[in-house]
């Protein structure tokens, strides 16, 4: 029977793909648990190098022996919406100012990407989650 490693910490970070460096927030978050920061940075950058500048959340499991594993998650919905519309940011007053309009096709593409990490049972629930995020950013959905 394989020996089970004891988990020391679970760290969640959002890092631009291929751009992990020992600088904050990564260095301090991992350093306090004794993780080899450069080993994580190299492994993360290798796994995300083909994803452009997209923000890729990562869940890092740190074990008692200072080793680690990490799991890449899908980009945040807000990042996917901004990317689909080609915008830098959402509206500062979303209830008054609309910054863009998403088509149903764009929403479906976002759902396809995000579905594994969404807390939704079906595509209908996923659509409502995307719709809520879009509304809070000042983005309307056409159709």
Give the number of other CB atoms < 10 A from CB of residue 124.
9
What is the chain's pLDDT, residue by residue, as a tens digit (143 residues)?
Answer: 667 889 999 999 999 999 999 999 899 999 999 999 999 999 999 999 888 888 999 999 999 999 999 999 999 999 999 999 999 999 999 889 999 999 999 999 999 999 999 989 999 999 999 999 999 999 999 87
Phi-psi domain of 138 (left: phi exceeds 0; alpha: psi -120 through 50; beta: other)? left
Look up the CATH number of domain 7-72. Answer: 3.30.1550.10
Q: How many CB atoms lie within 10 A of CB 44?
A: 22
Count of positions (residues) in the chain: 143
* CATH class of the structural domain 77-142: mainly alpha
Domain extent listing, the chain: 7-72, 77-142
Of 99, 58, 98, 61, whose CA–CA distance to 75 is shortest? Answer: 58
Cα–Cα distance for residue pair 65/30, rounded to 1 Å: 14
């Amino acid at each position: 029977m394989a020996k089970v490693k004891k988990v020391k910490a679970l760290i969640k970070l959002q890092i631009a793909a291929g751009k992990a460096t020992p600088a904050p927030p990564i260095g301090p978050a991992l350093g306090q648990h004794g993780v080899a920061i450069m080993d994580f940075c190299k492994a993360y950058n290798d796994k995300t190098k083909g994803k452009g500048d997209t923000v890729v959340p990562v869940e890092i499991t740190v074990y008692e022996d200072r080793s680690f594993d990490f799991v890449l998650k899908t980009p945040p919905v807000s990042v996917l919406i901004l990317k689909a519309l080609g915008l830098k940011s959402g509206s500062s007053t979303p209830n008054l100012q609309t910054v863009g309009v998403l088509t149903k096709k764009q929403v479906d593409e976002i759902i396809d990407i995000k579905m594994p990490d969404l807390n939704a049972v079906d595509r209908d629930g996923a659509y409502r989650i995307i719709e809520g995020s879009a509304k809070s950013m000042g983005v309307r959905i056409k159709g």
